[in-house]
Chains A and B, each alone.
Chain A
Amino acid sequence: MMDKGLIIMRPTEDCNLACRYCYSVKSSKVLIMNKEVLEVAIRKILGFYKQATFVWHGGESTLAEIGFFKEAIRFQDTYKKEGQKIINEIQTNGTLVDEKWAKFFKECSFFVGVSIDGPQEINDSVRIHQNSKGAYEDILRGINVLKNYGVNVAGICVLAKHNIDCVDEIIDFYEKHDMPLNINPFISSGKGSMFSAQLLISPEEYSGAMIRIFDRWFENPSIKIYDFYKIIKSFFTGSNNICCYSGKCSSEYISVCPNGDVYPCGRWAGEKTFLMGNIERDLLEDIISSGPAIKILNRGKLLDECQNCQWFEVCNGGCPHTAFLYNKGDIHHQDFYCQGRKNLFTHIYNKVSKELEKSRKATLLASLKT
């Protein structure tokens, strides 16, 4: 058994929204994962990982209906080993969340991530319904229902051209709604690639915005920002469990599509050259030692550009899928945002080091006084 696994479950690849930057593609004709695939997936996953985090993702995962998730919990209870830790996290656009969902998430201790890009004007320029109407009001209604039920809810914000110059407004928004925040840069993939010219930011724009957010947060944090906590932590431990930096996608991180196909993560769904196997047909042991899996796991060793980089241990060359996208299908290159991440890591490292030194001096002074 492997120690821990994070499984991105895609109950459906369908979505009720038409966000301009969406990378998700339909990997097969199966609209909703059937119960047989769901049961086999849960049985095999719980038989393979000592600790399992199920990240229910999509498409819009709530389109799979609440009964699907009740079955998932039932299967988890059936196949759970003694002492095994299971975490459920769902990522949703929030627009279909009502009291019934909120009650279920609370009862089953789900962590819920809701995508919202900041205030209405910013959000509605990209996160839209099929009829092009902005989704802000429906998303916020969903968030408020979740919060009323005491559900652990965090926001997910995509940084792209539409909001790159509005980071203060984004933080103000998250502070106002008292919500933890996660920030992902735009990836030009799937439908998002059609809007690349309007949305793509440069690595330097990415680091500029992130550094601005970090500086504000570091002096006066009012909300939890997961990315910063994990980056800082990596400077103490020498490893990073943000999936893009872990170097372990395709073993500790995998994704299961509605038809049972397994890919290194949801971003790869439908990219047949990186299809690792099928959860119904194949053993998980074979899936994570398949050709595509090994290719991704070995990528770090083969990145010439990264061998002398001081940040390699906490980034592992970044996201292989992003390298694949921006280098004509060749994963043996850096992540597109490499320079941005270097700038960000350097800034955070220096800032934290300085603060630690200040605290060490204060400790010494205090001890001299006593």
Chain B
Amino acid sequence: MKTTICQAENISHPQSKKREQFPLLVLQGIDPSVVKNPVIKMLMTGDAVLASGRRCSIIPEDEMLIFLD
């Protein structure tokens, strides 16, 4: 199972949130099929084919893992 940024945080209308700090980025207005950058693609669809040829999926557990030294 994979998840996208929007699914993970339930932020279907993030631009409606008011803040004084940096403007939140939004994915609206972008068709995933024309996106060339693999990182943006991964953000939109939850996975991408990496340069190594392997698929890289964002999984729900990614949100909960931390890696301490």
Binary per-residue interface labels of chain B (1-32) against chain A in the complex, 1 for a CB within 8 Å, 0 otherwise: 00001101101001001010110111101110
Q: Is the CB of A53 within 8 A of B64?
A: yes
Quick check: A233 and B8 within 8 Å, CB to CB? yes
Given A23-B69, A156-B69, A218-B39, also A311-B22 (CB < 8 A): yes
- Which residues 36-62 in B have Cβ within 8 Å of A in the complex? 36-40, 42-43, 48, 50-52, 54, 56, 58, 61-62
Chain A residues with CB under 8 Å of B51's CB are 220-222
Q: Is A329 an interface residue (CB 8 A)?
A: no
A4: chain B residues at CB < 8 Å are 64
Decide: B52 and A158 in contact? CB cutoff 8 A.
Answer: no
CA distance A237 to B65 in the complex (A): 18
With both chains docked as a complex, state the minimum distance between the C-beta of A48 and any C-beta of chain B, in angstroms: 16
Q: Which 9 A-B pairs have the closest CB atoms?
A: A182-B67, A222-B51, A184-B69, A363-B31, A362-B34, A222-B52, A53-B64, A237-B9, A113-B67
Some 21 contacts from A to B, beta carbons below 8 A apart, are A23-B69, A87-B65, A156-B67, A224-B56, A226-B62, A229-B42, A232-B39, A232-B43, A233-B8, A235-B22, A236-B9, A236-B27, A237-B9, A237-B24, A313-B19, A313-B22, A352-B25, A352-B40, A355-B37, A358-B36, A362-B36
Using a CB–CB distance below 8 Å, which chain B residues touch chain A? 5-6, 8-9, 11, 14, 17, 19, 21-22, 24-27, 29-31, 33-40, 42-43, 48, 50-52, 54, 56, 58, 61-69
- A→B interface (CB under 8 Å): 4, 6, 8, 21, 23, 51, 53, 55, 57, 87, 89, 91, 111, 113, 115, 154, 156, 158, 175, 178, 182, 184, 187, 217-224, 226, 228-229, 232-233, 235-238, 241-243, 253, 265-266, 309-313, 349, 352-353, 355-356, 358-360, 362-367
